[in-house]
Structure 1
Amino acid sequence: MNFAETDEQKELRKAVKALAESYGRDYMRAEAKAGKHADALWREAGRLGFLGVNLPEEFGGGGAGIYELSLVLEELSAAGCPLLMMVVSPAICGTIIARYGTREQQEQWLPSIADGSKIMAFAITEPDAGSNSHQITTTGQADPEGGYILNGRKVFISGVDNADAIMVVGRTSSAEGYLRPALFIVPTDAPGLQWQPIEMELNATERQFMVFLDDVKLPADAIVGGEDANLAQLFAGLNPERIMVAALSIGIGRYALARATSYMKERTVWGTPIGAHQGLAHPLAAAAIEIELARLMMQKAAWLVDSGDDRAAGEAANMAKYAAAEASVKAVDQSVHSLGGNGLTVEYGLGSLINVARVSRIAPVSREMILNFVAQQTLGLPRSY
């Protein structure tokens, strides 16, 4: 693995940074306050090829990898413009369709996911299953008229109100009577599909929803990758998801540190910039170190995904997500503290990041479940649940 980015990757960073800074944190705050979705930024990012940089060129993408897509989200977030649906639409859904979808599914969805003209949400979490995907009860029964009839409930599903379809993780019945995992593409205007917003203490352009699937009729070609979506197929999307959440967290941490250091250079007490005081400087320096360490693990995980080593990527992606979430929370907390009362004012834009940064410790998989994974898969300790 080469730690030096290519000239193309450096230029991509520069171009994304320029776009994000032309919008900035104030734009995102205003969009969220108005209940909007940052559509102008999303469309522009799609037009410039940033949203589909990881998707195949033959379907309108950039032909690069998750490394480049994570780079895009990191730079957007570092400028105060985190786009959560990048984690979902191109990273999870786009990757799964590119690897396992039929030619027709690829032609139908990938070009529009790449250019941002269509958005696909992703629904795996259920009220009674939580982190245990083996307890998923959303089921597609064979329709006597052909296709499937899908029933189930999902919770904490991002961006449904702005999506054209949802990739739903469910199950189908086998001839032997047991349930097999399956991935269904459900248009958001399908009869029987409804959603209800969940009120959150978050200032974000993406809202969370309860999703209800009541006798939703789907054609046979609504399934991605066949009736038995094994774990390899599912984690083809979930490994990139963890990497992209790490990228978002790292970017938020960078944004917070940049705001704090700028303030600490200018804010003078008794004739001395407060950044000269080690009591303030050292905690920020430690936070910067942890952000960089997390970024290295994120880059390793992305490199493993792009190299096709899914098994090693699973371990690295979980570690990257854990490390980035912890580093981001610490960076934001210390940045707010460094500004004192100003850290909680709208003017400096840091206080609203406290909840945003903390989300990545909880979703899409909690820090405790990642620790369980590492304890069992990396250390070989007995299963704890």
Structure 2
Amino acid sequence: MDNTPVGLPGKGSRISDTTQERRDLREAVRQLVGGYGRSYFQDVVARGEKADALWSDMGKAGFLGVHLPEEHGGGGGGLADLAVVIEEMASQGCPMFMVVISPAIAGTVLSAHGTPEQKQKYLPGIADGTFRMAFAITEPDAGSNTHKITTTAHRDGDGGWRLRGQKYWTSGVDECQALLVVARDAEPGPDGRHTLSLFICDTDAPGLTFQQLDSALQLPEKQFMTFFDDVPVERAGLVGTEGEGLKQVFAGLNPERVAAACMANGIARYALARGAQYANERTVWKTPIGAHQGVAHPLAEAYIAVELARLMAMRAAEMSDAGLDAAEASNIAKFAAGDAAVKALDQAIQVHGGNGLSNEYGLADLWFVARMFKTAPVSREMVLNHVAQHSLGLPKSY
């Protein structure tokens, strides 16, 4: 497979970039990641290894921390800048999920709610890629209902806590030095409900173990069940205010949805570029198959859906950077991107005919990654619930 940077002809799919700085950032990421390319990513995944070389270069170039404060080693930009980085990585066939987890979720939460000591300790490493932090929120019996989390923080006699419980689908914990954990308080509040808090624990802490899940996702990041058996957390490991974890975690969840949307959009752009290239080069009876409307129109329709999803993702990112309520926009962006990515990838595979099912063409092994975005990090059904209730004013259905 040719590993030159991937891009569409014509305008190059740059509708969402409204500033020269953002266009320059996109081009710089495209050149760096395109130098690795889809075949590098496929090879890493096939050998069960990590994309450490690419990760290290991204960190050295300042791309991983582009949205984090300059005083803590970041680029001083915003979520919109990180959105460009994530999308462009995926558009080169390298959808690295750790960028969503460590910089986008953990980095953003710590930047917003971490103590000065936590910011100084963790953010510089998150920004340059020398430190990775996983995120543990999902549980087997909680799903989208975060209020049902049962992983519990019990106070010990030294001013700290002991974490007990388990988490599900914890991505990349095996390659991280620390874990950002959402846990409920052991004692209920005055209303009888257990409030949530955020904690940081080292991944080599006593009592912390994890077991890999058998996943169809073809990514360097593996998925795990994570078990907490009286895992100690010092007082300094509490993020923000005790009991306000649910409010604080949304500092990371909305950016997570934007980041996921951008990764889906990048995958879609990669697929469309490959589909368009094949439709131009593949000839039947001396005619490029792209000249036929039966091939051209589905690709064009998929392109339109992707561009609309990209605009929504960038709108959500810019609203977040402006300090506006970006919940609705972030949910809509993720919904649109998930659907558009599956449609674009499916059509690109179809254009390739039987070759679309060959890993040599770099499309088929992206299927479950693209399909994931219709389910996670928030399902399309929960997005529809949010829009129905908060945007349309309809009665709550759950």
The normalised TM-score by structure 1 is 0.97
**Given the alignment of the two structures, is residue 260 of structure 1 paired with residue 260 of structure 2, yes or no?**
no
Q: Give the whole-Å Cα distance in 2 for the aligned partners of 1:192 and 1:230.
A: 23
Partner of 2:95: 82
**What is the alpha-carbon distance in structure 2 between the residues aligned to residue 299 and residue 33 of structure 1?**
33
What residue number does 1:59 align with?
72
User: In the alignment, is residue 218 of structure 1 matched against residue 233 of structure 2?
Assistant: yes
- Alignment of 1:208 onto 2:223: yes
Q: Deviations over 1:239-296 (max 9, x none)?
A: 1000000000000000000001101101010110000000010000000000000001
Preserved contact between residue 197 and residue 246 of structure 2 (Cα < 8 Å): no
**CA deviation after TM superposition for structure 1 residue 182, in Å:** 0.4
Q: Give 1:145 deviation, angstroms.
A: 2.6
C-alpha separation in 2, matches of 1:369 and 1:96: 22
1:194 maps to which residue?
209
1:10-32: CA deviation from partner (whole Å, max 9, x where unpaired): 11101000011100010011101
State which drifts further: 286-295 or 214-223.
Answer: 214-223
Counterpart among 90, 106, 109 of residue 93 in structure 1: 106
Q: Which residue does 1:337 correspond to in 2?
A: 350
Which secondary structure does the structure 1 equivalent of 2:127 belong to? helix
One-letter amino acid of the counterpart of residue 27, structure 1: Y
* Aligned partner of 1:292 among 299, 303, 307: 307
SS in 2 for 1:204: coil
Match of 1:321 in 2: 334
Q: What amino acid maps onto 2:133 in structure 1? A: M
1:3-152 pair list within 5 angstroms: 5-152=18-165
Matched position secondary structure for 2:374: helix
3-state DSSP of counterpart to 1:35: coil
How many residues get paired?
Answer: 382
**Structure 1 counterpart of 2:183, from 170, 181, 201:** 170
Contact kept? 2:104, 2:256, Cα under 8 Å: yes
Cα distance 1:258–1:175, how it changes in 2: closer, same or farther (>3 A)?
Answer: closer
Please name the residue that 2:11 is paired with.
Answer: none
SS at match of 1:58: helix
What secondary structure does 2:37 align onto?
Answer: helix
Query: Equivalents in 2 of 1:32, 1:4: separation in Å?
Result: 31
> What are the Cα deviations for residues 329-385 of structure 1, in whole angstroms up to 9, with x where unaligned?
000001001110011112211111111100111111111111111111111111111
CA deviation after TM superposition for structure 1 residue 231, in Å: 3.8
Distance 1:4 1:338 in 2: 28
1:181 aligns with 2:196: yes
- The letter of the residue matching 2:314 is Q
1:326 maps to amino acid: D
Determine the structure 2 residue equivalent to 1:369: 382
Determine the structure 1 residue equivalent to 2:265: 250
What is the CA RMSD across the aligned residues, in angstroms? Answer: 1.2
User: 2 CA distance for matches of 1:123 and 1:202?
Assistant: 18
**Aligned-partner residue type, residue 307 of structure 1:** A
Q: Does the 8 Å contact 2:17/2:23 carry over to 1?
A: no
Cα shift at 1:120? 0.4
SS of equivalent residue, structure 2 residue 361:
coil
Is 2:262 aligned against 1:237? no
Question: d(CA) in 2 for partners of 1:4 and 1:207?
Answer: 32
3-state SS of paired residue (2:183): strand
CA distance in 2, matches of 1:230, 1:128: 19
Q: In the alignment, is the contact (CA less than 8 A) between 2:182 and 2:245 conserved in 1?
A: no
CA distance in 2, matches of 1:15, 1:200: 32
Q: Where do 4+ consecutive residues of structure 1 move more than 6 Å? A: none
- Give 1:3 deviation, angstroms: 6.0
Helix, strand or coil at the partner of 1:126: coil
Judge which range, 176-185 or 333-342, deviates more: 176-185
**One-letter amino acid of the counterpart of residue 49, structure 2:** K
**Distance (Å, rounded) in 2 between the aligned partners of 1:272 and 1:37:** 42
1: CA distance, partners of 2:195 / 2:216? 36
Aligned partner of residue 134 in structure 2, secondary structure: strand
Q: Deviations over 1:133-178 (max 9, x none)?
A: 0100111111023200111110001001001111011112356464
Unaligned runs of 5+ in 2: 1-14
Shift of 1:9: 1.2
Percent of residue pairs bearing the same amino acid type: 54
Q: Distance in 2 between matches of 1:219 and 1:174?
A: 21
* In structure 2, C-alpha distance between the alignment counterparts of 1:231 and 1:299, rounded to whole Å: 25
